[in-house]
Chain A
């Protein structure tokens, strides 16, 4: 399972003087769900379009099963572009058959595959409707069917979950999990971090056009600052002040949430807490992906900005990246 099948190696792409992707390197393994997260304009879509050959990279390469991806290899991929790509005036079933045949299926096989996916994605009542007459959510299901109709060996999906209702999210998730269970590497981008955390085997976090962290959520949290929840009822306002590498995140009544930098000793925190009186709770918390993401982006955002966009590194460049659309915004 741990064999990397799809490798992105040192990929760089500039639009004019603007570097959209720089030194992007990661791999996806057979049968895994790989979540691709990052702020708007971080380079996710550009990377996915490069994998699909929609864009040519300025440097670096994409490998499939150890060989540079060529046209024949790409034709076995399934792709869902960021902006939905279907003929608005074509009927759903016809459209899926057409795409199936374009991918080299025989007419009979394409018809069968189209029917199968229409049923699986609960589109049967819309099969003879024009794509443009469907709701956005249903169009998205058709889009997924379009990516799946030729039985792809790898799936690259740009924001497949955006704009879906909860039921549709479940259907989409199940389908992707099924594909992965069949050994297909599935890569998708998303801003719904809780969903990514729930679904994905591994997560790649993109910032400033490069991958700044990659691994399972546990692996990521190991490298991240630790969280402690301390409930010391008699502690003063700033009982934790002066502890090296310890930062108070929040206080709710008697409970204090702390963040520990790398190497900070939690036992010293416990001692400090006990020094104020009784300690009724002392919990090491796993940070959710949302927080891991925020930490990582904040930490790496500023240097990323400097490397990319010196000319524009004015006042807004060093904003904390909590608001993704804010800082710099050009990437």
Chain B
């Protein structure tokens, strides 16, 4: 380890034979250069307060969201059934299975008031003189009321049918088939809400990450220009190596946060049962991750190229605005169109085209309404756009990043050298 023991005063020439340096100073493989830049980027990003705070903040937000969902339906509502009405219980249970989330327990008539007041039971079903009664603390749950009414109607029907000599079982089957039809409206109602939530979370999450990490990268580019550290860096590595390293580094930081948050969100969604995902959990995350990377590299390369044109953070806004529009537009479009009608052919076509696909396609995939060929096509197109875009972005970056002072004109940034 001659290099280690060398005193500062000794000949610098001996730095050449520094042991352990595979290539020795003066030669640095492109991979190692990119890796070093990326590593610095990751460690400097993930150690910042803002990274920790935003992760915790988002996790907290998800937690609160989950709590609200849990609070709004805290498991099956317990409904007491008095002994007098216990004969109706099978009918009640059968009807309730279709209509809502209720658990029936048999209770003694004299304790019902106390149980209701303490919140043990949300309602008690009794029977007075052949009539079903529903006792509640304040207001009757509409679903429960419907269940009780249906059960009462069913009971009455059964009795009347028996009196008329019709087999109630046979008749009930037919009634049941019609009940299914009526109840089919309800799941589709909740499913629309679910879909909307799914679109909002998936596109929202991706949008947030594209913007947040894209801007973070752009600020990093400008910071290097402002501090002139870029002059030091570019005397030893190539501009594309610096850009690639930064992109990869920020992407890793972003993906880490996305996986943590996405994982938490999926876990919560499954746990609360509020959203049923069409694909396996892992598959969903892989989908989001893939699109995150594609979209991120596409947008971030553009943002970095735009950011390289200015030397001060104050000027950043002006140059990244047009690029931001490319991220915001698909998000707004996606929310507006997808939530209205996810099967709209316009959205189908738009979700194939690169600046829009990284936000629209994952939403469609999560909804399970994207055919495989469309997914494949959109991936191919996005990858092709990425290849072209990084080339242009790399050129803009290399042309601009060492030019300090006023904003580099777009034409000069794009000029071939």
Contacts and interface: CB of A to CB of B under 8 A. Distances in A.
Contacts of B10: 182
Interface string B68-80: 0000000000000
Q: Which of B44, B232, B236 gathers the greatest number of chain A CB atoms within 10 Å?
A: B232
Interface in B1-57: 1, 3-4, 6-16, 18-28, 33, 36-37, 40, 44
B232 A146 contact: yes
Contacts of A150: 15, 25
Nearest to B230: A85
B8 A106 contact: no
Interface in B221-275: 223-224, 227-238
Nearest to A119: B8
B402 A55 contact: yes
B25 A81 contact: no
Contacts of A102: 28, 33, 36-37, 233, 236-237
A175 B7 CA distance: 12
Interface residues of B, number: 46
Q: Which of A86, A99, A106 gathers the greatest number of chain B CB atoms within 10 Å?
A: A106
Interface SS, B side:
loop
A76 interface: yes
A55 B398 CA distance: 11
A115 to B, nearest CB: 9
Contacts of B20: 106-109
B24 A104 contact: yes
Contacts of B230: 85
B228 A79 contact: no
A183 B122 CA distance: 91
Interface stretch (A46-54, A229-237, A262-270): A46-54
Contacts of B14: 151
Contacts of B3: 105, 108-109, 112-113
A53 B235 contact: yes
Given A104-B25, A108-B20, A150-B25, A52 B231 contact: yes
A146 B229 CA distance: 10
A87 B44 contact: yes
Contacts of B228: 81-85
Given A54-B234, A86-B229, A117-B8, A101 B26 contact: no
A305 B119 CA distance: 93
Contact of A52 (B6, B25, B235): B235
Nearest to A143: B232
Interface string A144-175: 00101011110000000000000000000001
Given A102-B33, A104-B24, A109-B3, A49 B231 contact: yes
Contact of A108 (B4, B28, B44, B227): B4
Nearest to A121: B8
Contacts of B404: 83
Q: Which of B3, B6, B24, B404 gathers the greatest number of chain A CB atoms within 10 Å?
A: B3
B232 A81 contact: yes
Nearest to A85: B228
A203 interface: no
A85 B233 CA distance: 9
A89 B44 contact: yes
Q: Which of B4, B7, B16, B22 gathers the greatest number of chain A CB atoms within 10 Å?
A: B4
A83 B233 CA distance: 14
Given A72-B27, A75-B235, A98-B36, A184 B12 contact: yes
A189 to B, nearest CB: 15
Nearest to B7: A116
Contacts of B40: 90, 98
A318 interface: no
Nearest to B12: A151
A112 B4 contact: yes
Contacts of B26: 72, 75-76, 104
B8 A104 contact: no
Given A105-B18, A106-B18, A184-B12, A90 B44 contact: yes
Contacts of A52: 231, 235
B231 A101 contact: no
A178 B27 contact: no
B387 to A, nearest CB: 25
A54 B402 contact: yes
A211 to B, nearest CB: 23
11 contacts: A49-B231, A71-B238, A75-B28, A102-B236, A104-B28, A105-B15, A106-B20, A109-B3, A109-B18, A152-B12, A183-B13
Given A72-B26, A81-B228, 10 more contacts: A75-B26, A84-B227, A86-B232, A101-B36, A102-B37, A106-B21, A109-B3, A109-B21, A151-B16, A178-B8
